[in-house]
Amino acid sequence: MNELKRLQLAITKANNVVYEWNVNKNIITWTGDTRSILSLDNPIEISTLERFIELIHKQDRAKFISSFELSRDNGGDYSRVYRIVIDDEEFVRVVDKGTVEKVGNDTVMVGMISADDDVVRVRSLKKEPNMREQNYGAYNDNYENDIFIEELHTIYQNCVTADKEAVLLKISIDNLPMMMTWYSPKFANRIMEALEIQLTQLLRESDVIHRTALDQFGIILRNQTKTEVELVIDRILRKIQLYNNPSFKEPIHLRTSIGSVHFPSYTDSPTDALNKAYLALSNAKNKASEFHCDYLDAKREHLDSKDQVTKLLYMQNAFKENKIHLAYQPVIKSSDGHVASYECLMRVEDEHGNLSSAGNLIPVAERMGYIDIVDEYVLEKVVAELKEYPDISLAFNVSNLTTDNPKWLQHCTRILENADIAHRMIVEITETAAQGDLRQTAYFVAALQAIGCQVALDDFGAGYTSFRQLKSLSVDKVKIDGSYIMGLEENSENLLFIKTLLDFNQSYGLETVAECVETGEVAKILMGLKVDYMQGYYFGKPDIARPWAGEKLPYEQEVS
């Protein structure tokens, strides 16, 4: 027996088939038992591209053609996975690996097709609708991902039986809708098909990849260590973020997010694995600088989110039950000791009538999209008070997010009826807002000043706002962060900072407010430095009583 016959016999006994595909002439020559895999006695029935494509499952044809064209145009090795339909009811998943060579003027593909023995070889097509019906209720993807779900079920059960681990990856191309808008849905689909082929080349033969949604892929990594999984994820991220395909002339940049979960260790079922991978993917999409999130990390954030939801519900109920109040703290003019204005601070009333600061609830409201309601509420309460009492000035804080909210500015303009009311309203922005988009913050300040309001920069010195940025904002007042005021009599460095700030503010016509003044000694030092205003417990604690309306503090009511 010569070498060629021995090779042909080995291929046949291994249930593999080898082909030589002359692309230019569109002729496929087969070696091996085509019946074992392709269920055909006569290879002549699949001797052309058109005839061979008829054997491929209809859901895999577009992906196969894209892979075929990419290999034909670029050359080199290729590896693809698709399904061959045996008859009207069954199919087999095959692995097709080969290389492209130039033979004279012809392009020739030489490859081998083998059944994927790591999954059930023959499956019933009749099961697909039932599988979809069972799983899509929990898994909200609207693409042909039923095969991926079925393979996940098979692999999951194999892992449970063999006491092995696998990893499910959920990969999203986040900006694919933008590609569809820029170019066309067909173009975006070509990107996804080509990308699936390239991602397949990063995986092992035992791994599984399918497009599971319009803009998503599902990948199952089997028998890999934690370090190996991390390396695969890094390669996938790099491949997508630096995506390059010579067949696309249009500029392409892909942004991706990846969620992962190890199973069966951290899951109860295949459906549970899908849901947890999707949770991890959602968390990854919300991260500014990290593109991958594992379920265990997402779980920790999920628990924190539950706590945030509880706090948000507490705040929402307080609003519904009218248990949100404003407490007022006097701001004293240093030159004569008179009250120049009051700062309005939010307080929440509990079921026992006790008041507490809403400070710990504000970050939650910001993260949960509720801060616009909070800031509009405070604005309306302050404006109502200013309208009723023309001799007072009130200050209040707004969130950093509000400085970038045109609706709040529009609402503020509408409810301020005249310049006199606006002139007595002081809007405080935090130093953190100034560190964000400086131009947007400067616009916010200018817009408020245009309708007559004063603007103060709160907590100056707590962050990294420079004097140059302070000049760019053109605020009316600067409030020195309390950390520089407390214990001032014993801290020469803080004293130097305050002197420098005062010199700067005075040269640009800005007024200065010192916060957290708690002792008479500190007040004397600040008066000597000619600080314009002072605020702190030494002059009065925040209280819901309104002195300008004749209301007395609770302890004053008890005495009288």
pLDDT in tens, 308-337: 778 888 888 888 889 999 999 999 999 999
Q: What would the mean pLDDT of 422-440 be, rounded to a whole number?
A: 83
Q: Please determine, for residue 120, whether its predicted confidence score (pLDDT) is greater than 60.
A: no
Q: What would the mean pLDDT of 13-38 be, rounded to a whole number?
A: 82
DSSP 8-state secondary structure symbol assigned to residue 163:
T
Q: Please determine, for residue 361, whether its predicted confidence score (pLDDT) is greater than 80.
A: yes
Q: What would the mean pLDDT of 261-274 be, rounded to a whole number?
A: 93
pLDDT in tens, 292-311: 999 988 887 665 666 677 88
What was the pLDDT predicted at 206? 86
What was the pLDDT predicted at 467? 74
Torsion-angle region of 322 (φ positive above 0: left; ψ -120 to 50: alpha; else: beta) = left
pLDDT confidence bin for 465, thresholds 50/70/90 = low
Backbone angles phi, psi at 314, to 5 degrees: -60, -45
Q: Please determine, for residue 156, whether its predicted confidence score (pLDDT) is greater than 90.
A: yes
Residue 460 placed within a domain: yes
Q: Please determine, for residue 251, whether its predicted confidence score (pLDDT) is greater than 60.
A: yes
Q: Please determine, for residue 235, whether its predicted confidence score (pLDDT) is greater than 50.
A: yes
pLDDT in tens, 64-87: 888 888 888 888 888 888 888 877
**What count of other Cβ atoms lies within 10 Å of the Cβ of residue 464?**
10
pTM: 0.55
Same domain, 40 and 165: no
Return contacts of 438-442, CB within 8 angstroms, 24+ apart: 438/469, 438/472, 438/473, 440/403, 440/404, 441/403, 441/473, 442/472, 442/473, 442/474
pLDDT confidence bin for 21, thresholds 50/70/90 = very high
pLDDT in tens, 207-230: 999 888 889 999 999 988 889 999
Q: Please determine, for residue 126, whether its predicted confidence score (pLDDT) is greater than 90.
A: no
pLDDT confidence bin for 434, thresholds 50/70/90 = low
pLDDT confidence bin for 513, thresholds 50/70/90 = very high
What was the pLDDT predicted at 445? 94
pLDDT confidence bin for 2, thresholds 50/70/90 = low
What was the pLDDT predicted at 435? 63
What was the pLDDT predicted at 287? 78
Q: Please determine, for residue 124, whether its predicted confidence score (pLDDT) is greater than 80.
A: no
What is the share, in percent, of the chain residues with pLDDT greater than 70?
86
Lowest mean pLDDT among 102-116, 258-272, 288-302: 288-302
Specify the pairing of strand 16-22 against strand 76-85.
unpaired
Specify the pairing of strand 394-397 against strand 425-430.
parallel
pLDDT confidence bin for 185, thresholds 50/70/90 = confident
Specify the pairing of strand 106-115 against strand 122-124.
unpaired
Domain end residue (candidates: 88, 115, 142): 115
Residue 329 placed within a domain: no
Most confident among 8-17, 356-365, 408-417, 547-556 (mean pLDDT): 408-417
Same domain, 297 and 396: no
Specify the pairing of strand 76-85 against strand 90-103.
antiparallel
What was the pLDDT predicted at 149? 87
What was the pLDDT predicted at 7? 66
Same domain, 491 and 395: yes
What was the pLDDT predicted at 4? 56
pLDDT confidence bin for 394, thresholds 50/70/90 = very high
Q: What would the mean pLDDT of 444-463 be, rounded to a whole number?
A: 89
Residue 243 placed within a domain: yes
Same domain, 264 and 408: no
Into how many domains does the chain fold? 3
Q: Chain-wide mean pLDDT for the chain?
A: 84
Same domain, 515 and 387: yes
Q: What is d(CA 91, CA 515) in angstroms, rounded to the nearest whole number?
A: 75
Residue 333 placed within a domain: no
Same domain, 215 and 67: no
Same domain, 40 and 137: no
Same domain, 510 and 424: yes
Same domain, 107 and 190: no
- What is the full DSSP assignment across 95-120? EEEEEEEEETTEEEEEEEEEE-TTS-
Residue 160, domain CATH: 3.30.70.270
What was the pLDDT predicted at 144? 44
- According to DSSP, the residues that pair with 111 across neighbouring strands are 19, 98
Domain end residue (candidates: 282, 303, 324): 303
Residue 37 placed within a domain: yes
Domain end residue (candidates: 303, 318, 352): 303
pLDDT confidence bin for 514, thresholds 50/70/90 = very high
449 burial (CB, 10 Å; 0-12 / 13-18 / 19+) is middle
Q: Please determine, for residue 127, whether its predicted confidence score (pLDDT) is greater than 80.
A: no
Same domain, 406 and 503: yes
Q: Please determine, for residue 117, whether its predicted confidence score (pLDDT) is greater than 60.
A: no
**543, 510, 552, 511: which is closest to 343 by C-alpha?**
543
Residue 345 placed within a domain: no
**Residue 39 or 159, more confident:** 159
Same domain, 129 and 111: no
Q: Please determine, for residue 133, whether its predicted confidence score (pLDDT) is greater than 80.
A: no
Residue 36, domain CATH: 3.30.450.20
Q: What would the mean pLDDT of 450-464 be, rounded to a whole number?
A: 85
Same domain, 16 and 164: no
What was the pLDDT predicted at 533? 97
**412, 389, 415: which is closest to 402 by C-alpha?**
412
H helices of 18-60, in order, are 34-38, 49-55
Give 255's contacts (C-beta < 8 A, 6+ positions apart): 173, 174, 175, 241
What was the pLDDT predicted at 258? 95
What was the pLDDT predicted at 8? 60
**Residue 266 or 247, more confident:** 266
What was the pLDDT predicted at 529? 94
What was the pLDDT predicted at 306? 66
What was the pLDDT predicted at 302? 63
Residue 68 structural domain: 3-115
What was the pLDDT predicted at 78? 85
Where would I find the beta strands (DSSP E) of 267-312?
292-294
Specify the pairing of strand 511-514 against strand 477-480.
parallel
Residue 280 placed within a domain: yes
What was the pLDDT predicted at 9? 63
Residue 419, domain CATH: 3.20.20.450
Q: Please determine, for residue 352, whether its predicted confidence score (pLDDT) is greater than 80.
A: yes
Give 542's contacts (C-beta < 8 A, 6+ positions apart): 327, 328, 329, 343, 345, 347
Residue 313 placed within a domain: no
pLDDT confidence bin for 339, thresholds 50/70/90 = very high
